[in-house]
Amino acid sequence: MGRIVPVDEPDATPPPRRVLRSSHRHLFPPDPRTAGDDPDYRFSLANERTFLAWIRSALALAAAGLGAATLLDDFPGEEYLGVGLLALSFLTAALSYRRWALAETAMRLGRPLPPSRLPLFLAVAVSVIAVASAVLVAIHAT
């Protein structure tokens, strides 16, 4: 016997455009200046420098990935290594602004800064890629 669905029951799956807008809001939260008061300018500038350091890390990973994909011709599996580094750079860049906005909002509201798993994730991912490179070099050498 089929389940009777009430007419006014909200749709469980939102339309694709709303999902896209929601994920955009999640990755790129609105202007933090709409909440709370201005914190000490030194904290704001330190937060901005941390954000820029994350962006540079993403760009450095992208440069390494592009270099690996094109320059290391004698290295076995260099294309896959490059694509792996580039995917990592994309994730790092995509999450950087969110990290900055959440920290800035917490500062403005006088709350503790929210912890992030991004440093741990990046450290583990780069370590895995480094070990994979070492294994590939060892296989190639033998």
Partner 1 sequence: MRPEQVFDPLLQQERTSLAWERTAFAGLVVGTLMTRVGASVHLLLGGFGLVQVCASAGLLVWSGRHYEDLHVQLRAGESPTHPRAAMVVGIGATIATGLATALAVLHLVADG
Q: What is the DSSP letter of 12?
A: S
Member of 72, 76, 97, 136 binding partner 1 (CB under 8 A)? 97
Among candidate residues 67, 71, 87, the one with its CA nearest the CA of residue 129: 87
Contact flag: residue 83 with partner 1 (CB under 8 A): yes
Contact flag: residue 19 with partner 1 (CB under 8 A): no
* Binding segment toward partner 1, per CB under 8 A, in 5-13, 88-96, 113-121, 122-130: 88-96
Is residue 48 left, alpha or beta, with left meaning phi > 0 and alpha meaning psi from -120 to 50?
A: alpha
* Binding segment toward partner 1, per CB under 8 A, in 8-16, 90-98, 119-127, 131-139: 90-98
Sign for the pseudo-dihedral over CA of 21, 22, 26, 27: negative
Q: Which residues contact 112 (CB under 8 A, 6 or more apart)?
A: 106
* Binding segment toward partner 1, per CB under 8 A, in 6-14, 54-62, 115-123, 134-142: 54-62
> Min. distance of Cβ 51 from partner 1 in angstroms?
6
Contact flag: residue 123 with partner 1 (CB under 8 A): no
